[in-house]
Amino acid sequence: MGAEEFDRLAAAWGRTVELHPAGAEAGVTVRAFLQPVRERSGRQFRPTPAGVVREDRFLYLGPAGVPLSGGDGSWLSCGGTRYEVLAGHGVFAGAVCSHWRAVLRPGEGEP
């Protein structure tokens, strides 16, 4: 799948997402796919001495034109929720990036 085909699919069935790459002064609005990643155990919480901690993870598939690598303070907002980017990488069709894939977790603060 090429970048143009991904963009057509995202335009038809994706969600509106506002990306905030590290170092960027303003957010970038794109159409992307965002869905929960279910753990095999079915648990999304981890007990700690201070209480239960959420461990939700989300999969992001977004356009090739906006890199989202994570670990650098990048975040995004969708549906009123802020998500921190844990890790991301480009998905390549041959030598050309067709889209970006990232793993997210719900973040703290206002989107």
Please provide the DSSP assignment of 4-50 as one string. Answer: HHHHHHHHHH-EEEEEE-TT-SS-EEEEEEEEEEPPTT---EEEETT
Does 25 or 85 have the greater pLDDT score? Answer: 85
**Contacts of residue 56, Cβ cutoff 8 Å, sequence gap at least 6:** 36, 44, 105, 106
Residues in the chain: 111
pLDDT in the model for residue 3 = 84
Residue 53 has pLDDT above 70, yes or no: no
pTM greater than 0.75: yes
Considering the domain 3-37+53-106 in this protein, what is its CATH number?
2.40.10
pLDDT per position as a tens digit, 12-33: 999 999 998 777 778 899 999 9
**pLDDT, average across residues 62-86:** 87
- Find out whether 69 and 23 touch, Cβ atoms under 8 Å: no
**What mean pLDDT comes out for the span 36-40?**
75
Give the mean pLDDT of 89-110. 86
Alpha-carbon distance of 28 to 72, in angstroms, equals 17
Token code pair at residue 71: 């670990």
